[in-house]
């Protein structure tokens, strides 16, 4: 783009081949910086807008399916583990009872974690993922 507009400006800057070259380089540099700034600003505002729109749009159906599947998975895995332990150790029904309750706990933990109420396991990642988690 700078090359296209170059010839127009050389007419104004006057004689001197080297001066003209320096001017064009300066100009190019200045423009490039300006473009980078504008792009950065635009990208940031775009990202924010997108994020806001996305979290508003997917709060319904997607969120419901996600949270319920997290909870059910916790309970189901707890019950499955308890049942397997009972079968192997012959402690029926205590393994099932205890692990079903633990599974409930795990399910609630899953739900709260994916809803962003409880911090992620990794505290460093929790701030970074704050935006992603609401999808």
Q: Which residues bind other proteins (CB under 8 A)?
A: 58, 62, 65-66, 69-70, 72-74, 76-78, 81, 99, 102-103, 105-107, 109-110, 113, 120-125, 128-129, 131-132, 135
Residue closer to other proteins by CB (options 6, 80) is 80
Residue closer to other proteins by CB (options 20, 113) is 113
Task: Supply the minimum distance, in Å, between the C-beta of residue 126 and other proteins.
Answer: 11
Task: Supply the minimum distance, in Å, between the C-beta of residue 121 and other proteins.
Answer: 6
Name the DSSP letter for residue 121: S
Residue closer to other proteins by CB (options 23, 83) is 83
Task: Supply the minimum distance, in Å, between the C-beta of residue 102 and other proteins.
Answer: 5
Task: Supply the minimum distance, in Å, between the C-beta of residue 69 and other proteins.
Answer: 4
Cβ-contact 81, 105 below 8 angstroms: no
Residue closer to other proteins by CB (options 28, 67) is 67
**Whole-angstrom Cα distance, residue 109 to residue 119?**
10
Could you write out the DSSP letters of every residue in 54-106?
Answer: HHHHSTTHHHHHHHHHHHHHHHHHHHHHHHHHHHHH--TTHHHHHHHHHHHHH
**Whole-angstrom Cα distance, residue 6 to residue 23?**
10
Distance of CA 1 to the CA centre of its chain: 34
């Amino acid at each position: 783009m700078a090359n296209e507009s170059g010839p127009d400006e050389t007419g104004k800057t006057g004689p001197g081949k080297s001066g003209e070259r320096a001017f064009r380089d300066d100009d190019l540099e200045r423009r490039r910086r300006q473009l980078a700034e504008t792009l950065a600003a635009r990208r940031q505002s775009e990202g924010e807008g997108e994020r806001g729109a996305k979290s508003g749009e997917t709060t319904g159906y997607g969120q419901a399916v996600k949270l319920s599947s997290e909870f059910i998975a916790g309970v189901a895995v707890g019950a499955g583990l308890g049942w397997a332990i009972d079968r192997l150790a012959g402690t029926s029904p205590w393994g099932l009872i205890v692990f079903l309750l633990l599974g409930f706990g795990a399910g609630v933990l899953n739900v709260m974690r994916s809803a962003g109420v409880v911090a992620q396991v990794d505290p460093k990642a929790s701030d970074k993922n704050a935006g992603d988690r609401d999808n």
